[in-house]
C-alpha cells in the first residue's frame, strides 16, 4: 500500500469524528452504567498489564470514528515503515530505530553498511561483559578495589530516561538482591548539581559514564571537566574511572581518556534512548545485565502490540487516538501523568520530554504550518503527593485536563503495615480508584464552592508490580503513543530543532558577542 502523509484536518474521518455526538461522562460513569464500562473498556497490555479507558469520553460511535481515523491515517502502515527502516525522521533525513534496540519487529534493517539489530545487540553484549567484569572485580580502581557507585553524566534524554528507570527499579533490585552498584546522575550545568553528587560519593570507588552522542554537548563536557577535577584532586587517574557512551565518529570514541566506549547512532533520539547503550550502561552496572535484558523484553513485547491493526488490541494506538480526540475535538490543552507508585517518581518528567520534545511542533513533516493544535502540555507527580498539590485545579479549575493514571496492585518492598484496617498499599490503590470516579462523576452541592462538576476524563494502566518487564512495557506504551500521535498530526516526532536556538545564543553570550537585550541580560547576570 502506498503511504500518504496528510494533515489531520484534511482527513474525512477526522471531520466525521468532529461531528460525532459528545459523550456525557458523568452519565455513563455513574451507577450501573459505570460499573459495566469499567469491566468492558479495557485492553490487555504486555506483562499482564491493562489499559482501562472507561473514564475517557468514548462510546461506540466515537470508537467507530476513531477506528476509521486510524485506517485513513495509515497508522499501522506508518509504524511498519518505521521499523522496517524507512526515513521517517524527515527533518534530519534519518531512520528511527529505537525499537530495534529491543527486538526485530520486521525486516532486517541495514544502514551504514551494517545490520542495525546486530549492531545494537553487539553493544549490549559488550556492555554486559564490561559490567560483569566490574561486578566480579576484574575491572577495579587503581588500588585493586571494587567500584561501588556508578555516576551517569548526561543531559536531556541522556539523563531523564535512565534516571527514571533506575529510580523505578532501585527498591525492586534491593529486595531481589540484584542491586550491584548505587547509581547517581549529574545533568544540570549548574555547578551545585555536580558538586552535590560528588560530595555524597566516594570518588575512589566510583565509575563515571559520560553520555554524549556528538561528544560536544556543552553541559555534559562541562560536568565531565568538573568530575575530572575532583578525581585529580583526589590523586586519581580520571581515565581509570570513566567510560563513554557516544557515536563511533565522535572524538570520545577512541580516546585514551576512557576505560571503554560503547556506541549509539543517529537513528535513536535522546528521549528514545533508554533501551540503547545510553540506558544500558548505567542500568547494567547498577542492576546487572540480566535485569536490563528483562527490561528490554518487556518493551519488546509491548512493541509487538503496536503492530496490530485492530485498535482494541493495540493499547498505544488507542491511547493516542483518544488523546488526539481530546486535544483536537474537545479542545483540552494539557495532560497530567499521575503514577500511583513512588518508584515512578521521575517517570512524568521523562514523559514530559518524550512527548513535548517530540510533538511540540507547529509545522508538518514538510515544513508547512498546520492549522490545528498539536502536542499537549505534559506534567505530573506521583500520587498521593499530587492530590495535596495541583488536584484542586484538576477537580474544580476552569480547564479540563485529561489524566493518565498508572497503578499497581502490589508494592515493591516486603514492608507494609496495617493501620485502621488496611495496608498502606491498599490506601494507595483506594485513592487512585476514588480519584478516577471523583473526576468523572463529580458531586453536586448547593454550595458552589463544594460543587464538583465532574466530566473530567482519565484512563489508568494497571499492573501487578513495577519490575523490569512491566517497566519496559510501560515505557514502550508511551513511546508508541507519542509516535502514533505524531503520525496523526503529520509532524516529525523525531527531531527537536526547538532546543537549538538557545544553545546558539548561549555560545554568543559566553564569547561576549552580544548586543541589544541579550547584552543587557548578560550584564545583569554578571557574565
Active site residues: 357, 388, 503
Distance CA 157, CA 126 (A): 22
Question: Which residues neighbour 526 within 8 Å (Cβ) at sequence distance 6 or greater?
Answer: none
Burial track 183-213 (b if 16+ CB lie within 10 A, e otherwise): bbbbbebeeebbeebbeebebbbbbbbbbbb
Distance CA 164, CA 43 (A): 25
| Assigned C-alpha cell, 498 | 526547538
Distances (CA, A) of 320 to 17, 166, 340: 14, 26, 21
Cβ proximity of 150 and 282 under 8 Å: yes
Cβ proximity of 105 and 303 under 8 Å: yes
User: End-to-end alpha-carbon separation of the chain, Å?
Assistant: 57
| Assigned C-alpha cell, 251 | 572524538
Burial track 251-274 (b if 16+ CB lie within 10 A, e otherwise): ebeeeeebbbbbbbbbbbbbbbbb
The residue among 109, 481, 133, 475 whose CA lies nearest residue 294 is 475
Amino acid at each position: 500500500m502506498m503511504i500518504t502523509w496528510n494533515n489531520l484536518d484534511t482527513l474525512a474521518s477526522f471531520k466525521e469524528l468532529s461531528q460525532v455526538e459528545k459523550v456525557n461522562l458523568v452519565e455513563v460513569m455513574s451507577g450501573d452504567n459505570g460499573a459495566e464500562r469499567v469491566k468492558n473498556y479495557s485492553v490487555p497490555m504486555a506483562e499482564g498489564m491493562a489499559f482501562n479507558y472507561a473514564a475517557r469520553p468514548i462510546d461506540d460511535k466515537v470508537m467507530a470514528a476513531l477506528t476509521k481515523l486510524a485506517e485513513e491515517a495509515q497508522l499501522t502502515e506508518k509504524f511498519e515503515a518505521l521499523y522496517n527502516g524507512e526515513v521517517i525522521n524527515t527533518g534530519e533525513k534519518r531512520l528511527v530505530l529505537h525499537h530495534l534496540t529491543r527486538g526485530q519487529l520486521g525486516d532486517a534493517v541495514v544502514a551504514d553498511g551494517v545490520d542495525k539489530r546486530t549492531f545494537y545487540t553487539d553493544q549490549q553484549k559488550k556492555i554486559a561483559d564490561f559490567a560483569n567484569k566490574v561486578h566480579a572485580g576484574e575491572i577495579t580502581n587503581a588500588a585493586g578495589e571494587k567500584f561501588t557507585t556508578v555516576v551517569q553524566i548526561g543531559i536531556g534524554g541522556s539523563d531523564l530516561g535512565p534516571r527514571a528507570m533506575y529510580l523505578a527499579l532501585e527498591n525492586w533490585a534491593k529486595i531481589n538482591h540484584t542491586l550491584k552498584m548505587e547509581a547517581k546522575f549529574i545533568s544540570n550545568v549548574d555547578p551545585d548539581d555536580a558538586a552535590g553528587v560528588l560530595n555524597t560519593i566516594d570518588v575512589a570507588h566510583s565509575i563515571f559514564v559520560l553520555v554524549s552522542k556528538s561528544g560536544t554537548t556543552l553541559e555534559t563536557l562541562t560536568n565531565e571537566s568538573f568530575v575530572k577535577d575532583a578525581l585529580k584532586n583526589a590523586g586519581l587517574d580520571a581515565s581509570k574511572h570513566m567510560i563513554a557512551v557516544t557515536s563511533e565518529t565522535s572524538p570520545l570514541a577512541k580516546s585514551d581518556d576512557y576505560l571503554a566506549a560503547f556506541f549509539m547512532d543517529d537513528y535513536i533520539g535522546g528521549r528514545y534512548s533508554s533501551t540503547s547503550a545510553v540506558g544500558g550502561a548505567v542500568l547494567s552496572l547498577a542492576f546487572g545485565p540480566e535485569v536490563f535484558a528483562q527490561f528490554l523484553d518487556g518493551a519488546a513485547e509491548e512493541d509487538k502490540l503496536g503492530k496490530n491493526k485492530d485498535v482494541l488490541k493495540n493499547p498505544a494506538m488507542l491511547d493516542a487516538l483518544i488523546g488526539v480526540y481530546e486535544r483536537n475535538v474537545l479542545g483540552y490543552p494539557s495532560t497530567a501523568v499521575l503514577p500511583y507508585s513512588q518508584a515512578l517518581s521521575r517517570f512524568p518528567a521523562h514523559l514530559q520530554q518524550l512527548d513535548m520534545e517530540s510533538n511540540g511542533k507547529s509545522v508538518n513533516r514538510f515544513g508547512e504550518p498546520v492549522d490545528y493544535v498539536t502536542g499537549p502540555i505534559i506534567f505530573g507527580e506521583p500520587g498521593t503527593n499530587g492530590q495535596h498539590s495541583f488536584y484542586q485545579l484538576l477537580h474544580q479549575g476552569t480547564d479540563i485536563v485529561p489524566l493518565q493514571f498508572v497503578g499497581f496492585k502490589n508494592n515493591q518492598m516486603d514492608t507494609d503495615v496495617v493501620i485502621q484496617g488496611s495496608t498502606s498499599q491498599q490506601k494507595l490503590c483506594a485513592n487512585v480508584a476514588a480519584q478516577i470516579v471523583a473526576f468523572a462523576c463529580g458531586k453536586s452541592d448547593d454550595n458552589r464552592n463544594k460543587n464538583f462538576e465532574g466530566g473530567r476524563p482519565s484512563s489508568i494502566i494497571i499492573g501487578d508490580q513495577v519490575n523490569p518487564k512491566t517497566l519496559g512495557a510501560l515505557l514502550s506504551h508511551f513511546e508508541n503513543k507519542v509516535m502514533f500521535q505524531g503520525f496523526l498530526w503529520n509532524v516529525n516526532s523525531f527531531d527537536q530543532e526547538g532546543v537549538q536556538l538557545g544553545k546558539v545564543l548561549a555560545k554568543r553570550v559566553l564569547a561576549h558577542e552580544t548586543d541589544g537585550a541579550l547584552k543587557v541580560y548578560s550584564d545583569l547576570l554578571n557574565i
